[in-house]
């Protein structure tokens, strides 16, 4: 009875820690006016509410068992056993499954953050609701039927088969834990390998912008421009033609004095005024591109520096968030999987001829059974910093 009393007192401490840590996390996210438009914030809220529900429901039922239920009458109350079995499934399987899928959703949201931020408000609300409710919908549709099937409600001891128990442990604990860890590792690698191209590099890589920058830079050089003059074209009679006029037409010096043999009238004798000649230059492609496609002025060194600092800040912020998420997934994996592995080991080995090993396995299971409860207030504490941005 002393062990039962100590376990009940320890449960009360766990309930207080779970309520404080998750309550503060909920308050920290709810006070944000736009929490409904952020899938990450709404997912964190759903996970925190799930932990609070575990503290108010399964933990209270277990505490009542430790303090009030007489061990001699265990299994005599059908209503209590029905409630006890359901609370165990919620605490050991459902909340663990939902939390693992929630971490996977947070990792995918980190990769798709820029796409989500471009959605409209209504689309953001729908995306947030779908992201936060998907782990719960899958848990209620998979874990509860698998855990309650063939589980007699008139007994407080698990009556399901060993194969069903192993399937429940693998689906609800092992797979979500490994899936969350692999997803967060992939997210970390994706964020670190993501190349952030500053804006001034994007401008310089554009061919049109390069032409504009070349024209502007050439104007600042001290060396004068050297242009090659094309030879002046001649007519068949070796008479030179005038250079190009402003209207782009060439006029021959003899065109006004020639008479065609078949011409029936005289041309006017008024000669055109001599216009000043202008040498012809080769057209520069940069001038044409700059004139046809005027671009924005080049970035100054101060603007380029500010853009680089902003890009570095965004990259550093993303790296910090995904590193925090990786720590959460590692803590989650280390706290929920040991007890599940021990249970699977007990189910796979019947220990018919070795009672000492069976006793040692059950002692290890009792010692590790509190780790998933510790997860319920450890991960919210680590998530305080992750939920800031």
Question: For residue 105, what are the contacts with CB-CB under 8 A and spacing of at least 6?
Answer: 39, 43, 131, 132, 134, 135
| pLDDT (tens digit per residue) in 46-97 | 999 999 998 888 888 888 777 765 544 554 566 777 788 888 889 889 999 9
User: In this structure, are residues 386 and 27 in contact, taking their beta carbons and an 8 Å threshold?
Assistant: no
DSSP, res 155: -
- Which of 137-141, 276-280, 383-387 shows the lowest mean pLDDT across its residues? 276-280
The answer on pLDDT for 349 being more than 50 is yes
Query: What's the rounded mean pLDDT across residues 197-204?
Result: 45
Residue 341 banded pLDDT, cuts 50, 70, 90 = very high
Contact 348, 286 (CB under 8 A): no
162-177 pLDDT, tens digit per residue, is 888 899 999 999 999 9
The residue among 272, 98, 273 whose CA lies nearest residue 171 is 98
Question: What pLDDT is attached to residue 389?
Answer: 56
> What proportion of the chain, given as a percentage, has pLDDT over 70?
58
Report the predicted TM-score, pTM, of the whole model to 2 decimal places. 0.67
Of 167, 137, 129, residue with least CA distance to 45: 129
**Up-side HSE of residue 182: CA atoms within 13 Å toward CB?**
6
Q: What is the spatial distance between Cα 149 and Cα 276, in angstroms, rounded to a whole number?
A: 103
Give the model's pLDDT for residue 213.
Answer: 44
Work out the pLDDT band at 203, boundaries 50, 70, 90: very low
């Amino acid at each position: 009875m002393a062990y039962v009393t100590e376990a009940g007192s320890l449960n009360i401490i766990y309930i207080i820690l779970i309520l404080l840590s998750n309550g503060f996390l909920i308050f920290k996210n709810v006070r944000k006016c736009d929490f409904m438009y952020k899938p990450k914030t709404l997912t964190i809220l759903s996970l925190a509410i799930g932990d609070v529900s575990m503290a108010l429901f399964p933990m209270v039922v277990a505490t009542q068992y430790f303090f009030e239920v007489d061990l001699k009458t265990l299994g005599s109350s059908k209503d209590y056993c029905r409630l006890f079995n359901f609370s165990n499934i919620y605490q050991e399987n459902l909340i663990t499954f939902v939390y693992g899928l929630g971490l996977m959703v947070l990792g995918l949201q980190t990769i798709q953050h820029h796409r989500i931020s471009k959605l409209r408000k209504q689309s953001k609300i729908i995306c947030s609701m779908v992201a936060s409710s998907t782990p719960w919908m899958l848990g209620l549709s998979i874990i509860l039927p698998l855990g309650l099937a063939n589980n007699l409600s008139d007994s407080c001891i698990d009556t399901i088969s060993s194969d069903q128990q192993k399937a429940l442990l693998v689906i609800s604990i092992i797979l979500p834990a490994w899936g969350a860890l692999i997803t967060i590792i992939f997210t970390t690698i994706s964020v670190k390998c993501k190349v952030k191209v500053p804006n001034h590099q994007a401008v310089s890589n554009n061919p049109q912008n390069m032409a504009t920058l070349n024209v502007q830079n050439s104007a600042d050089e001290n060396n004068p421009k050297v242009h090659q003059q094309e030879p002046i074209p001649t007519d068949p009679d070796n008479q030179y033609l005038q250079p190009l006029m402003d209207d782009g037409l060439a006029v021959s010096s003899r065109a006004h004095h020639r008479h065609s043999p078949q011409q029936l009238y005289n041309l006017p004798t008024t000669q055109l005024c001599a216009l000043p000649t202008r040498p012809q230059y080769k057209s520069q492609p940069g001038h044409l591109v700059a004139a046809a496609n005027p671009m924005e002025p080049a970035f100054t060194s101060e603007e380029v520096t500010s853009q680089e600092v902003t890009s570095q800040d965004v990259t550093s912020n993303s790296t910090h968030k995904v590193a925090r998420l990786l720590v959460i997934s590692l803590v989650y994996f280390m706290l929920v999987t040991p007890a599940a592995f021990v249970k699977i080991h007990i189910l796979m080995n019947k220990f018919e001829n070795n009672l000492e090993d069976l006793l040692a396995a059950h002692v290890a299971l009792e010692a590790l059974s509190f780790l998933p409860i510790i997860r319920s207030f450890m991960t919210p504490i680590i998530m305080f910093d992750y939920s800031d941005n």
